[in-house]
Structure 1
Amino acid sequence: MSRNHVLFVGFALPGSLAPFWELAKKISKHHDVTFAVSAACVEELRGRGLPSDHDDGKSSNPRLALYGLEDKWDPSDMPGQLAMSPNRTASGDSVTAPSMQMTKRMEAVREAVEKLMRGISTKTLPAIGEPSLKRAVDVAIVDFFMLRGSISICEEQGIPFYIFSSSNALVPLQATLVDENTPTRPGDQFEAVVRGDFDQIPNANGEFEPLLIKGRVDNLLLPMRQAFMGSRGVILNSVREFEKEHVEWMERSPIFKERPLFCVAPLMPHEGEKKDDSKLKIQGWLDRKKRGSVVYVAFGSLVTLRPEQLTELGKAIENLGRPYIWSLLPNQYPHLPKSVQESVDNWDGDGLVLSWVPQKLILAHDSVGVFVSHSGLNSTVESLAAGKPMVCCPVSYDHLVTAQSAVQHGVGVLIGPQGFKKDAALIPAKDIEGTVRKVQEECRQKASEWRKKLTHAWDVSGTTAKEFNELATSISNI
């Protein structure tokens, strides 16, 4: 298998960046990789671990090199946090300012990506602009959030490319179902994001009710569809069996009769990753708890709940009378019941609230019995890999369809008809408490079965390993 030079173009949001980085590390075992992402994220990625022969600034042919995009991205104030601010309402006035701010930031990212791409040379063509990389690029893998600024230049320079989707299969499925004649309703690209709407699931005829927002179709789905049609293949951060219906629906599209679809999840750090002092301290706290007794609560790095819903959740966790560990942004602490607030950074009690936790370590620990989650795709896959049943509390984006998949496979229970969506009915503490108890009783066996499936997914004969090897070979054949 010949080693090509692969350019990864990544997006600086945790839910996208984490699996994309793990994919790059795996690809670097077969090909040489340059990973381009916001300069603000470079040091964080170095801390997540690099292969032993990574770029040290001296090698002209590293396995895995990092390239910082000068996009002025501030990871402490990301679009998702703007979108999920608990003070936003569904009124038109409330969505305009943050939506415009997101658009402005994405434009800055696009400009930085364009500058990088124009500085790329190939084996047959020089760079269009000032050179940005020393070595010619053979192939690009582009996060679907970064299509603008990347794909047109790939096509202009004749660079073969693949598209990576960090979301579940619903968003790329939407892209295969739309065209220029798809009926839409008014609205800009980020309006639904700011309001906290769920991504819409098509009916059996591939139609959307209510109609998709025009800005989303024009600025995300149609460009994604066009990129699919020009690509060498599409890579999903997905477990094929978990999203079987939507993956197979995509593969029936004429688009995928001419190019492959690769499902390569789970994409998680290797078991041997180094544990720093904070991780060791958390592991020690968990070691002191009984097997299956701990309730783990986390809603990802971007999601915040309505204050009143957060209070009810806190009451439920308190009423369970079980040990708990809760990952929560500090600006949410005031909405917790007083007794739960006392658990903030309190390592001596049965409750522990922290601003950040190593989720994979926690889920893998035997003391953890159930996961109360927003049903983000990465969190769901990590929970499946650890064999932990889930209380599914979707909030927005693609959370609902992921929660529905968890329910379908018997590994989780959906709380209320729409989870913790901002405009849904408030879920009282007693209902949350009852659901936690129900999940651990009814979903434990199925969760254990999924752990076995994902444990073997990357084995030599595993389904994920097979699709990944097909991807690596496809890149070699370019």
Structure 2
Amino acid sequence: MSTARGHGDEGEEVAAAHAVFFPFPAQGHVAAALHLARLLHVHHGARVTFVHSERNRRRILRSRGPAALAGAPGFRFAAVPDGLPPSSDEDAEDDHSPEHIAALLAFIDASVPHLRAVLDSAAASGAPATCVVSDIASVLRASGQELMGVPAVAFWTTGACGLWSNMLCQQLIEKGLVPLKGNEQLRNGYLDTVVDWAPGMPRDMRLRDFVSFVRTTDADDGMLRAVMGIMDTLRTAPSALILNTFDELEAQVLAAMRPILPPIYTVGPLPLLAAEQQAPLATLSASLSKEDGGCLAWLGRKPPRSVVYANFGSIAVLTTHQLREFAWGLARSGHDFLLVVRNDQAKDDACGGGGPAAAAEGRGYVASWCPQAEVLRHEAVGAFLTHCGWNSVLEGVCSGVPLLCWPFAADQQTNCRFACTEWRVGVEVAADVDSTEVAELVREVMAGERGREMRQRAAEWKEKAAAAAALRGGSAWVNLHRLVNQVFRRHRGMTLDTGVILSTTTMDKSTQRLD
């Protein structure tokens, strides 16, 4: 059991924290949470229990092997049931099927009892949890005996602009902008309506730049209603809110948010802080899919800034037409490209033989998944075609790589707006993908005047991100220290029966139960 101790803001000695991480079981959420968990353990001596869904645990073992979940003294993994049966090829499962979505929603609804079992195991081991870190709303709402009195901390894995965009949905409804009056407003220019009254947002913010949930004609839309419920939870339930961003990048948005939310700790950019990881935790991974390391060798044979990297994330599903247009647009741009096409994203044979593999012949490399942070840091990469998920945007900013933005859903529209017009490191690709436009934009970003300006701005933001992540002195490290000393203090809970799967390498076997 760890005996590491630190000092609080007034100089008092503070016992080492024990943070239980329980992220929403999707790739981007899990990866960001693991970055933060490792930092707290390595640099602040915090004990960590990191909780996966059982399906994700199996996927990590399949894609990375046992070392990815081996843990270390004071850092262990747990897995809780999710209702999804084992599959012979979980990397190719349809995560968007009604059955999978129904099981995921049921898992979220039932998450508190599962988490309580993890907390009981921690208490039984003699190291009771001091806080729970999660972005699952039901967990954040739980209090008192539900979580043994352990305070909940929200780690929200979007940027500040994406979170604020969600929070403003209620005002958009109150002002009559949402819901839409009919489907024609999706096409007739209504979404270009300027929203110039939103605090913290640009004065020329358009309705289309808000989260995609506002694009509904249903006054009782289930997703929009759920989003507003989650935002209410964030205002009142957690004892603190952690964001993977840095103050200079989103200063105006953060200033607007702080008066109405719990204390906010900006601890980003996590991609740069995570690069400081040392053994043994450097072997841990949250990648749910097997990465194709051959792409790095392929990049190594290319000149500096000559390759376009294209990846649409772990969730977006493209139509056959969209995938074909992107692939052939990249091929016809005249530049080499690395294209990621997930196993569950689209099938090459569905493109009639004219899909990504055909487009890549002689000029491109197609992978089913890749080590994105390493790819973006590679000197051969000159631009990043992205769906604008926050992790991807932030990794692009940290790497100084210009962005070609094709937002798919959720907060990605807002991230795209800020990347293109506020930070000026990106250019937007039309939603109705056309290979000719893709080729022209690639050429412009890679070799045109606008591309040179974007690259200069990207280099400036890269320097600012590096300053925020500077070891010990950067704002992220200062905020991490404050977070540990002000939030993650030791808390004693009660002991309950447990029923979770725990890593056999990192905890006393007397407190384990392996099913």
Task: Give the TM-score taking structure 1 as reference length.
Answer: 0.76
Q: Does 1:65 align with 2:76?
A: yes
Q: Which of 197, 209, 212 is residue 204 of structure 1 equivalent to?
A: 197
**Matching residue within 403, 424, 432 for 2:438:** 432
Aligned to 2:48: 33
Secondary structure of the equivalent of 1:41? Answer: helix
Mapped contact 2:67–2:284 kept (Cα < 8 A): no
2:485 pairs with 1:473: yes
Farther off after superposition, 402-411 or 112-121: 112-121
Residue 402 of structure 2 is aligned to residue 409 of structure 1: no
Unaligned runs of 5+ in 1: 56-61, 83-97, 122-126, 188-197, 421-425
Amino acid at match of 1:204: W
Which residue type is aligned with residue 27 of structure 1?
Answer: L
1:373 is matched with 386
Query: For the residues of structure 1 that align with 2:69 and 2:369, how far apart are their CA atoms?
Result: 28
Contact 1:389 1:443 in 2 (8 A): yes
CA contact (8 A) 2:69 2:284 kept: no
1:327 is aligned to 340
Alpha-carbon distance between aligned partners in 2 of 1:104 and 1:44, rounded to the nearest angstrom: 17
Partner of 2:150 in structure 1? Answer: 159
Structure 1: which amino acid aligns with 2:79? G
Where does 1:117-156 land on structure 2 (aligned, <5 Å)?
117=116, 120-121=119-120, 134-135=125-126, 137-144=128-135, 146-149=136-139, 151-154=141-144, 156=146
The 5 A counterparts of 1:391-402 are 391-402=404-415
Q: What is the 5 A alignment of 1:262-411?
A: 262-268=265-271, 269-270=274-275, 273=282, 281-330=294-343, 331-333=346-348, 334-335=350-351, 338=354, 340-342=356-358, 349-407=362-420, 408-411=422-425
Cα distance in 2 for residues equivalent to 1:263 and 1:201: 29
Contact 1:110–1:149, Cα closer than 8 Å, also in 2 = no
Equivalent pair of 2:134/2:152 in contact (CA under 8 Å): no
Residue in structure 1 matching 2:160, options 153, 159, 169: 169
Shift in CA distance, 226/325, structure 1 to aligned 2, threshold 3 Å: closer
Distance 1:41 1:350, change over 3 A: same
CA displacement at 1:65 relative to structure 2: 0.9
Distance 1:372 1:471, change over 3 A: same
Matched residue SS, 1:366: coil
The CA distance in 2 between the partners of 1:4 and 1:461, in whole Å, is 22
Q: CA deviation at 1:279?
A: 5.8
Q: Secondary structure at the match of 2:305?
A: coil
Are the equivalent residues in 2 in contact too, given 1:9–1:35 (CA < 8 A)?
Answer: yes
Structure 2 SS opposite 1:7: strand
For the residues of structure 2 that align with 1:262 and 1:24, how far apart are their CA atoms? 15
1:139 deviation in Å? 2.7
Number of aligned residues: 421
Shift of 1:49: 9.8
Q: Give the Å deviation of 1:296.
A: 0.8
Alignment-derived partner of residue 449 in structure 1: 460
C-alpha spacing 1:112/1:231, structure 2 compared with 1 (3 Å) = closer
Q: Which residue number corresponds to residue 192 of structure 1?
A: none
Q: Which has the higher contact order (CA 8 A, sep 6+)?
A: 2
Using the TM superposition, give the Cα deviation of residue 396 of structure 1 relative to its aligned residue in structure 2, in angstroms: 1.3
- Pairwise CA distance, 1:230: 3.2
Match of 1:5 in 2: 18
Query: Secondary structure of 2:339's partner?
Result: strand
How far is the alpha carbon of 1:40 from its aligned partner?
Answer: 2.5
2:18–2:488: 8 Å Cα contact kept in structure 1?
no
TM-score relative to the length of structure 2: 0.71
Gap regions ≥5 residues in structure 2? 1-5, 7-14, 181-190, 200-206, 491-515
Question: For residues 291 and 138 of structure 2, what CA distance do their matches in structure 1 show?
Answer: 39
**Do the aligned partners of 2:140 and 2:238 also contact (CA within 8 Å) in 1?**
no
Aligned letter for 2:233?
Q
User: Partner amino acid for 1:41?
Assistant: N
1:219 pairs with one of 213, 218, 226: 226
2:239 to 209, 227, 232: 232
Counterparts in 2 of 1:80 and 1:262: CA distance versus 1, 3 Å: farther
CA separation of 1:63 and 1:432: change in aligned 2, threshold 3 A = same
Matched-pair contact (CA < 8 Å) for 1:154–1:161: no
Going from structure 1 to structure 2, the CA distance change for 1:179 and 1:355 (only over 3 Å counts) comes to closer
